[in-house]
């Protein structure tokens, strides 16, 4: 049995800016298979950090570890720490439900609830016992998601009637209605057409002023367009993903330090 | 950093996490209780029947005819009647059901007639069994002039289980991978030859399983047979298709309807036999499904 | 004969052509025979499929013709408005209401048991129970559906009623309560499995979206999964009611054979199905009014269950449109 795991990464740049998340020696298993190994890096606050890599390298696994989504998978096991401020998200006393209110997630395929547009955005507010004016907060969220003008006259309409791009912006709206600290986006544009993609990318850049954004993408042009920092993951023959290189985006794309990063960016692998 | 941010947003919300979690656990408990109610009732029912009836179980019980005296009453005629009905229903409903399923699944064009047949089928599966009894009464007993005979009963029950067999067979046929069909056609076989030589053998385990389960259902049916006039007190076994008859569930019903507790004991014993037979059938179906599925590989 | 020789050996092109034609017609003849045989088989298959339509026509015709004969002798107004049902007595009344209310009453009791327990079981199995547990429990619950109704009747009359009489002394030997309770348990697997199918059709992505917004499992179930599968669940409920209405042996054994217009579940009464059994057990010659009554009652039963089935199907269609 030949297992050639990638050599441990040496090319990790810690951002000088304030950190939102500090990931330390993160390991994730699905049953017996290890999906990611010893990932450690720091995600800066109010910036867009992209996670790139070929399919199957563990990008989504890494992202979903941040908001404790692996708790919902029976066979999944997580070891290591993710520090959000002083709090270790994986400390035994940390409640995943609480974590998810502060760290929101947008999924690859837009998944609005089969309810009205209003109720979709209000869902998180109601569930978490929002004390203020729900309608006002819904409007605020929809404005921030650049969707308000398009739906303000049809808030009671079923959300599934919206186009793909609108649905994804709705999902963003319902996530930011909770005013999370961090927004995780798992390939948010891969199910959308180029025009909708562009709108979401613009939205992302706008949102980064308020929220920390971590985005998984297989589209390198997108990563170089919107992100400030980029992490490159790669899995060896054992199909266990490791962090190869992490640097400010321009550096990673213009002067990749690891051979494998360069190979991936130039399209020779993946 | 976010510490102040978290504090601000936390003030806006009243998450009441511990309350919600406790509600969740309570609800989980409630649903476990619901499941338990079903399971416990089943256990209590079986325990009660066995407790009431095991003393009456004996070889004599199985081989005696019913009698006015409970100690001598047995299920011989009922067992024989059930057996005959089973065979007849199998002989009638199985070929017809499989034929209909083959037609609908393999040959039927997608037109109005086919759609009507299919809607019809799902409707028929939901018709109360006693209505089938009325149908049998009007058509087989009266119009076909079969009287309250074994044949009339078998025909009535066949109509009852036919939709079940058809639906199960269709599923079995549908489960056959298209590659099998394509292989047959590629060898130059006609559509029917492909079905007969390739598809049908592959679907056979599923079809047989479905048929056995349908027959198991037929064994337990009481209402339609009462309606067509199956007798509740039969001290003989039918010698021809046109003789009157009784079946095990009807015999049980008859004994329950008597006031004497001794007959109730007999009824319980009859139920034990009935449940044992059903267990056998279901076990056979499961066994067959497992066995034949392994034999046929793709 | 030239059929033995090859085309190359044939003297003239005409002979060659004849050879080819003969071979072709030979094959065609085999083909034709096979085609005729297959067409006959196909016809047989088609006729077998038509049996289902014949059955429905048979049901409608049989019920219809005797019901028509019934209403030639009894006014339909009486049938729908009279509050007594005494066709077997000397002073005859033909109001359907005693039978109808008994059917409705026992069905309501059954539904009060089956719907909550069935839905809760479905939620428990689909969303809470670990896979290993669910795989064992589900088939066991299905056994409940496979027990013959005669056995349930026995259980209702000879176990449940005496048990309840200890707590409710005025409970009669034949009553709607025991029958309804037992019928409810019998229907639980139906509700549970159909509801579970409906909930399972809700995509996992919806659940994840709700969890990602900080919802607990309970909230995900009640605020997302159940509302998203509501049409399917309602279809299941309606089908369960239809099943309860059409049930015969439990009520025939445990509820009594005295038609009585009452809403008191502690006393004996007779449902539509039990009445049909009662008459069938007796000696009612064809053509008599008594004989026709069972068809009139049967038609009422059929119409009600068909209406419910259609309604259920309507809901199921609406549900499938969303998820397929």
Q: Which tens digit of pLDDT belongs to each residue from C159-212? A: 999 999 999 999 999 999 999 999 999 999 999 999 999 998 999 999 999 999
Measured on CA atoms in the order C166, C172, C173, C174, is the torsion positive or negative?
Answer: negative
Residue B291 has pLDDT above 90, yes or no: no
CA distance A5 to chain B (A): 37
Select the residue from C70, C99, C148, C210 to test the B interface by mutation, using most B Cβ atoms within 10 A. Answer: C148
* The pLDDT value given to residue A8: 53
Average confidence score pLDDT of chain B: 88
Segments making up each domain of chain C, as ranges:
1-73, 79-319
Neighbouring C-alpha atoms within 13 Å toward the C-beta of C90: 0
The verdict on a CB contact (< 8 Å) between C63 and B34 is no
The count of CB pairs under 8 A between chains B and C is 247
CATH architecture of C79-319: Orthogonal Bundle (1.10)
**Closest Cβ opposite residue A85 in set B3, B14, B16:** B3
Say how far apart CA B22 and CA C10 lie, in whole Å: 97
The verdict on a CB contact (< 8 Å) between A123 and C203 is no
Q: What is the largest CA-CA distance in chain B?
A: 93
* The pLDDT value given to residue B67: 83
The count of CB pairs under 8 A between chains A and C is 64
Tokens of B73: 């009453």
Q: Coil, helix or strand for C284?
A: coil
* The pLDDT value given to residue B298: 45
Q: Which of B12, B6, C219 is nearest to A140 (CA)?
A: B12
Confidence of residue A3 (pLDDT cuts 50, 70, 90): very low
Say how far apart CA A203 and CA A197 lie, in whole Å: 10
Residue B115 has pLDDT above 90, yes or no: no
- Average pLDDT of the segment spanning A241-254: 92
Confidence of residue B3 (pLDDT cuts 50, 70, 90): low
Instruction: Read off the DSSP letter of residue A160.
Output: G
The verdict on a CB contact (< 8 Å) between A127 and C203 is no
Confidence of residue A6 (pLDDT cuts 50, 70, 90): very low
Q: What percent of chain B has pLDDT over 70?
A: 95
- Average pLDDT of the segment spanning C12-37: 72
CB atoms within 10 A of CB B198: 19
* Residue with the two structure tokens 């950093």: B1
Q: What is the pLDDT of residues B191-241, one digit of tens each?
A: 888 888 888 888 888 899 999 999 999 999 999 999 998 877 777 888 888
Tokens of C72: 């030639």
Say how far apart CA C99 and CA C108 lie, in whole Å: 14
Residue A2 has pLDDT above 50, yes or no: no
* The pLDDT value given to residue C65: 93
Say how far apart CA B142 and CA B152 lie, in whole Å: 10
Confidence of residue A153 (pLDDT cuts 50, 70, 90): very high
Residue A235 has pLDDT above 50, yes or no: yes
Beta bridge partners of A212: A182
Walk me through the domains of chain B, giving residue ranges and CATH numbers: 59-295 (1.10.3720.10)
**Closest Cβ opposite residue A129 in set B1, B5, B13:** B13
A78-92, A123-137, B6-20, C295-309: the lowest-pLDDT one:
B6-20
Nearest residue of A to residue C131 by CA position? A74
Cβ–Cβ under 8 Å, residues A15 and A229: yes
Neighbouring C-alpha atoms within 13 Å toward the C-beta of C41: 19
The verdict on a CB contact (< 8 Å) between B45 and C137 is no
- Average pLDDT of the segment spanning A180-188: 94
* The pLDDT value given to residue B244: 86
The verdict on a CB contact (< 8 Å) between B5 and A97 is no
* The pLDDT value given to residue A115: 92
Residue A167 has pLDDT above 80, yes or no: yes
* The pLDDT value given to residue B13: 82
The verdict on a CB contact (< 8 Å) between C213 and A113 is no
Q: What is the pLDDT of residues C137-166, one digit of tens each?
A: 888 888 888 899 999 999 999 999 999 999
Q: Is the pTM of this model over 0.95?
A: no
Element containing residue A216 per DSSP (H, E): strand A212-216
The verdict on a CB contact (< 8 Å) between B13 and A85 is no
Q: Which of A185, A208, A178, A181 is nearest to A110 (CA)?
A: A185
- Average pLDDT of the segment spanning C242-262: 93
Contacts of B17 in chain A (CB under 8 A): 95, 97-98
Q: What percent of chain B has pLDDT over 90?
A: 48
Cβ–Cβ under 8 Å, residues C242 and C309: yes
Q: Which residue has the higher pLDDT, B63 or C304?
A: C304
Cβ–Cβ under 8 Å, residues B140 and B154: no
* The pLDDT value given to residue C24: 67
């Amino acid at each position: 049995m030949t297992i050639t795991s990638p050599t441990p990464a040496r090319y990790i740049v810690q951002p000088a800016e304030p950190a939102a998340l500090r990931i330390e020696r993160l390991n994730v298993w699905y049953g017996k298979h290890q999906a990611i190994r010893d990932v450690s890096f720091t995600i800066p606050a109010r910036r867009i950090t992209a996670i790139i890599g070929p399919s199957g390298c563990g990008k989504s696994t890494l992202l979903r570890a941040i908001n404790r989504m692996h708790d919902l998978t029976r066979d999944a096991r997580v070891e290591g720490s993710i520090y959000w401020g002083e709090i270790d998200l994986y400390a035994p006393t940390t409640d995943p439900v609480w974590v998810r209110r502060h760290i929101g997630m947008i999924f690859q395929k837009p998944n609005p609830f089969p309810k009205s547009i209003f109720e979709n955005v209000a869902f998180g507010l109601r569930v978490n016992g929002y004390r203020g004016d729900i309608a006002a907060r819904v409007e605020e969220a929809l404005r921030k998601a650049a969707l308000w003008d398009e739906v303000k006259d049809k808030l009671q309409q079923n959300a599934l009637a919206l186009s793909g791009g609108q649905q994804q912006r709705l999902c963003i709206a319902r996530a930011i209605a909770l005013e999370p600290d961090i927004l995780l986006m798992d390939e948010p544009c891969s199910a959308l057409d180029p025009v909708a993609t562009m709108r979401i990318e613009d939205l992302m850049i706008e949102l980064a002023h308020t929220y920390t954004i971590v985005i998984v993408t297989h589209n390198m042009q997108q990563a170089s367009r919107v992100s400030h920092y980029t992490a490159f993951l790669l899995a060896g023959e054992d199909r266990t993903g490791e962090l190869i290189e992490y640097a400010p985006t321009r550096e990673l794309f213009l002067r990749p330090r690891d051979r494998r990063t360069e190979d991936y960016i130039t399209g020779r692998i993946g | 950093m976010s510490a102040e941010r978290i504090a601000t947003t936390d003030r806006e919300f009243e998450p009441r996490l511990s309350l919600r979690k406790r509600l969740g656990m309570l609800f989980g408990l409630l649903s476990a209780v619901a499941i338990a109610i079903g399971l416990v009732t089943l256990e209590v029912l079986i325990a009660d029947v066995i407790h009431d009836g095991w003393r009456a179980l004996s070889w004599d019980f199985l081989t005696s005819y019913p009698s006015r005296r409970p100690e001598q009453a047995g299920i011989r005629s009922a067992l024989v009647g059930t057996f005959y009905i089973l065979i007849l229903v199998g002989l009638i409903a199985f070929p017809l059901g499989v034929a209909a399923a083959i037609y609908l699944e393999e040959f039927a064009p997608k037109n109005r007639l086919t759609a009507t047949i299919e809607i019809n089928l799902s409707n028929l599966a939901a018709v109360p069994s006693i209505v089938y009894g009325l149908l049998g009464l009007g058509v087989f007993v009266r119009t076909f002039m079969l009287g309250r005979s074994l044949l009339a009963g078998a025909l009535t029950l066949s109509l009852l289980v036919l939709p079940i067999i058809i639906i199960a067979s269709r599923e079995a046929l549908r489960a056959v991978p298209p590659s099998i069909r394509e292989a047959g056609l590629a060898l130059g076989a006609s559509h029917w030859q492909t079905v007969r030589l390739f598809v049908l053998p592959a679907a056979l385990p599923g079809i047989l399983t479905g048929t056995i389960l349908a027959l198991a259902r037929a064994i337990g049916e009481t209402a339609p047979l009462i309606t067509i006039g199956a007798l509740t007190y039969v001290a003989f076994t039918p010698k021809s298709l046109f003789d009157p008859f009784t079946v095990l569930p009807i015999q049980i019903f008859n004994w329950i309807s008597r006031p004497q507790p001794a007959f109730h004991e007999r009824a319980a014993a009859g139920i034990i036999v009935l449940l044992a037979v059903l267990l056998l059938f279901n076990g056979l179906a499961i066994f067959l499904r497992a066995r034949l599925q392994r034999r046929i590989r793709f | 004969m030239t059929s033995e020789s090859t085309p190359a050996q044939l003297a003239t092109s005409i002979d060659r052509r004849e050879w080819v034609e003969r071979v072709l017609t030979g094959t065609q003849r085999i083909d034709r025979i096979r085609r005729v045989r297959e067409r006959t088989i196909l016809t047989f298959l088609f006729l077998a499929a038509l049996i289902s339509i014949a059955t429905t026509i048979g049901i409608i015709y049989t019920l219809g013709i005797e019901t028509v004969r019934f209403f030639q002798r009894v006014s339909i107004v009486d049938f729908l408005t009279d509050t007594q049902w005494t066709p077997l007595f000397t002073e005859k009344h033909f109001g359907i209401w005693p039978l109808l209310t008994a059917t409705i009453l026992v069905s309501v009791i059954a539904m009060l048991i089956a719907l909550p327990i069935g839905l809760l079981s479905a939620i428990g199995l689909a969303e809470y129970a670990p896979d290993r547990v669910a795989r064992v429990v589900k088939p066991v619950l299905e056994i409940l559906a496979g027990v013959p109704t005669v056995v349930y009747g026995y259980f209702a009359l000879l176990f449940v009623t005496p048990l309840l009489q200890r707590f409710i002394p005025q409970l009669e030997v034949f009553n709607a309560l025991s029958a309804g309770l037992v019928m409810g348990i019998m229907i639980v697997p139906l509700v549970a499995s159909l509801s579970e199918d409906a909930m399972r059709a809700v995509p996992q992505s919806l659940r994840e979206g709700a969890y990602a917004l900080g919802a607990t499992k309970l909230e995900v179930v009640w605020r997302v999964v159940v509302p998203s599968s509501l049409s399917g669940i309602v279809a299941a409920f309606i089908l369960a009611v239809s099943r309860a209405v059409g049930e015969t042996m439990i009520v025939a054994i445990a509820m009594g054979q005295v038609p009585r217009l009452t809403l008191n579940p502690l006393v004996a009464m007779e449902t539509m199905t039990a009445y049909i059994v009662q008459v069938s057990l007796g000696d009612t010659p064809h053509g008599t009014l008594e004989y026709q009554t069972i068809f009139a009652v049967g038609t009422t039963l059929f119409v009600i269950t068909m209406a419910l089935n259609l309604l259920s199907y309507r809901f199921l269609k609406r549900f499938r449109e969303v998820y397929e």
